[in-house]
Amino acid sequence: MKHKDQYNDPRWIVKREEILEDRNHTCEDCQSTDCTLQVHHGYYELGKMMWEYDNDTLWCLCIECHENWGEMKRMLQEEMAKISMKNLQQIDFLLGLFGKMGKKSKTFTPLFNKR
């Protein structure tokens, strides 16, 4: 199913309303309530449908904050593309030390094991 078609799927409509109600129809960034709200996915995984994400990875945002998050994500991805594999390994190690992931990153570790 194409991404744009998922917006009209009853499973997404139910999930979206669940998120909006759970967050009291309030933007989680600016706390606005008198605006159009959107549900933002914190990340995307290839092959996963919009409604298959855990609720704690979905955010209720107003249009302006959603656009700001999108721009920040784009900028972060651009900067991450400049990080060397060695530096990425150091970041992965530090994330593990600080307990952000509980152990070494499942995302980056397989890349290192290919060498």
Q: What is the pLDDT of residues 32-50, one digit of tens each?
A: 999 999 999 998 899 999 9
Q: Which two tokens stand for residue 3?
A: 């991404």
102 phi-psi bin (left φ>0, alpha ψ -120 to 50, beta other)? left
Closest Cα partner for 55 from 15, 3, 92? 15
Closest Cα partner for 28 from 76, 74, 66, 55? 66
Q: Which two tokens stand for residue 76?
A: 């972060």
Longest CA–CA span in the chain (Å) reads 52
Model confidence pLDDT, tens digit, residues 58-109: 999 999 999 999 898 888 888 888 888 778 777 777 777 666 544 444 444 4
Write b or e for each residue in 93-107: b if 16 or more Cβ atoms lie within 10 A of its Cβ, otherwise e: eebeeeeeeeeebee
Predicted TM-score of the model (pTM): 0.69
Which CATH class name applies to 3-82? alpha beta
Q: Which two tokens stand for residue 7?
A: 């917006």
